[in-house]
């Protein structure tokens, strides 16, 4: 069995090579790239938002190739039914009985593409899978393979034909990541990587030492990272200050209707532990927490109607919170 120092060095090596593999396909988008990697090793799920064609699907597909995990893509549409993703009981003639036919959720890395184009009923079918790591069909529960991660993509809400995700489901995503429009020089690099004889994505090879057992081992190591009381208190203060009834931050009192849930603190701490490992440390620093405030909390704030009318964003409110707390 490897000691902690060896595991730490191995994690740094895997982290660097995985980021290099993804970086060979995706141009820029550092927050999104590192965000999906943090979610993978922390055991969380991520929601990626951006306009069509910006590389959301390519990011998740490349992550699957680079990790060597079993991958499934579900294209969400308005007519998609819950049984289309979870699976269903079907009659097996050879056996003369009903048997369970697994749906595409039974993979290690599931891409829920354009999740906000499906109806709320189908979106909610992911709740049990994301929280419990299982799906229930009829009277039976079926465990999902481990490691298991849902990476969902969505188009901005103001685009036609979309359904806002329910708050209960949004809260189950560890991070909400945004992919921004590339600069002109980045667009040229994208064109070079995607219009040549062989697309960059086709050249991606799995990082040695990952796969199912490798990712599970890294997840166990993440749990071994120490978060001192002062660091944990910072995470708790950041979450508490997003609630209007308890906050001393003027922006929160004025613009926020409902603050972040306890899952927000869990996301901050687990994500910070991954960043600590990536930096070669077995202890969480204050900067690790502060670096993850936006991806971990932006989707957990429910703004007032007045804030929406004024064009106030969760990011603006959270920046005020960080400034006041730290």
pLDDT in tens, the chain (326 residues): 567 788 888 999 999 999 988 888 877 788 899 999 999 999 999 999 988 888 888 888 889 989 989 999 999 988 888 888 888 877 677 777 777 788 899 999 999 988 888 888 888 778 888 888 888 887 788 899 999 999 998 877 656 667 778 788 889 999 999 988 888 887 888 888 777 666 666 777 778 878 889 999 999 999 999 999 999 999 999 999 999 999 888 999 999 999 999 999 999 999 999 999 999 999 999 999 999 999 999 999 999 999 889 989 999 999 999 999 87
Number of other residues whose CB lies within 10 A of the CB of residue 293: 23
CA dihedral angle for residue 117, residue 194, residue 108, residue 172, rounded to 10 degrees = -40
* Amino acid 173: pLDDT: 94
Residues 23, 107 within the same domain: yes
Residues 211, 281 within the same domain: no
Residues 158, 250 within the same domain: no
* Amino acid 44: pLDDT: 94
The 10 Å CB-count burial string (b at 16+, else e) for 223-235 is eebebeeebbebb
Residues 81, 218 within the same domain: yes
| Domain's final residue, options 175, 190, 224 | 224
Residues 157, 237 within the same domain: no
Residues 165, 234 within the same domain: no
C-alpha dihedral sign at 303, 304, 310, 316: negative
CATH number at residue 246: 1.10.8.80
* Amino acid 106: pLDDT: 92
* Amino acid 227: pLDDT: 93
Residues 232, 288 within the same domain: yes
Residues 68, 164 within the same domain: yes
* Number of domains, the chain: 2
166 near 124, Cβ under 8 Å? yes
- Cα-based distances in Å from 171 to 3, 109, 286, 321, 322: 35, 19, 24, 19, 20
Going by C-alpha positions, the residue among 127, 121, 116, 102 that lies closest to residue 45 is 127
**Cα-Cα end-to-end distance for the chain:** 40
| Domain's final residue, options 192, 224, 256 | 224
- Cα-based distances in Å from 197 to 51, 58, 75, 186, 222: 26, 18, 27, 19, 40
Residues 6, 142 within the same domain: yes
Going by C-alpha positions, the residue among 46, 38, 43, 45 that lies closest to residue 11 is 38
Residues 206, 303 within the same domain: no
**What predicted TM-score, i.e. pTM, was given to this entire model?**
0.90
∠ Cα 12 17 23 (to 5°) = 125
- Cα-based distances in Å from 232 to 135, 268, 273, 290: 33, 9, 11, 12
Residues 38, 49 within the same domain: yes
Domain range spanning residue 309? 225-326
Residues 220, 237 within the same domain: no
CA dihedral angle for residue 224, residue 226, residue 227, residue 229, rounded to 10 degrees = 130
SS3 185: helix
| Domain's final residue, options 224, 246, 279 | 224
* Amino acid 2: pLDDT: 65
For residues 18 and 317, give the distance between their C-alpha atoms in angstroms, rounded to a whole number.
33
- Cα-based distances in Å from 149 to 30, 70, 194, 215: 20, 11, 27, 11
Q: What is the 3-state secondary structure (H, E, C) of 193-261?
A: HHCCCCCHHHHCCCCCCCHHHHHHHHHHHHHHCECCHHHHHHHHHHHHCCCCCCCCCHHHHHHEEECCC
CATH number at residue 112: 3.40.50.300
């Amino acid at each position: 069995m490897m000691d902690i120092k060896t595991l730490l060095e191995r994690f740094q090596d895997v982290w660097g090579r995985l980021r290099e593999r993804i970086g060979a396909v995706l141009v820029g988008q550092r927050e999104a790239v590192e965000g999906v990697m943090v979610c993978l090793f922390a055991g969380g799920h991520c929601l990626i938002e951006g306009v069509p064609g910006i590389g959301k699907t390519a990011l998740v597909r490349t992550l699957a190739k680079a990790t060597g995990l079993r991958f499934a893509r579900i294209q969400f549409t308005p007519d998609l039914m819950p049984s289309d993703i979870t699976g269903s009981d079907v009659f097996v003639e050879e056996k003369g009985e009903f048997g369970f036919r697994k749906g595409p959720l039974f993979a290690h890395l599931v891409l829920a593409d354009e999740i906000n184009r499906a109806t709320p009923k189908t979106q909610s079918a992911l709740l049990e899978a994301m929280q419990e790591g299982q799906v229930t069909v009829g009277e039976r529960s079926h465990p999902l393979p481990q490691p298991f991660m849902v990476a969902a993509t969505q188009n901005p809400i103001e685009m036609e034909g979309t359904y806002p995700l329910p708050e209960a489901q949004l809260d189950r995503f560890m991070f909400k990541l945004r992919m921004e429009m590339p600069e002109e020089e980045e667009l040229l690099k994208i064109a070079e990587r995607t219009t040549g004889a062989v697309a960059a994505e086709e050249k991606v090879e799995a990082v040695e030492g990952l796969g199912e057992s490798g990712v599970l081992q890294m997840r166990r190591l993440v749990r071994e990272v120490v978060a001192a009381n002062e660091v944990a208190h910072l995470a708790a203060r950041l979450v508490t200050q997003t609630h209007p009834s308890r906050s001393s931050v003027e922006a929160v009192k004025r613009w926020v209707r409902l603050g972040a849930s306890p899952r927000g603190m869990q996301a901050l701490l687990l994500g910070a532990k991954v960043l600590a490992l990536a930096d070669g440390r077995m202890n969480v620093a204050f900067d690790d927490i502060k670096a993850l405030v936006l991806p971990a909390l932006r989707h957990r704030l429910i703004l007032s109607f007045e804030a929406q009318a004024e064009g106030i964003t969760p990011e603006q409110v959270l920046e005020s919170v960080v400034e006041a707390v730290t």
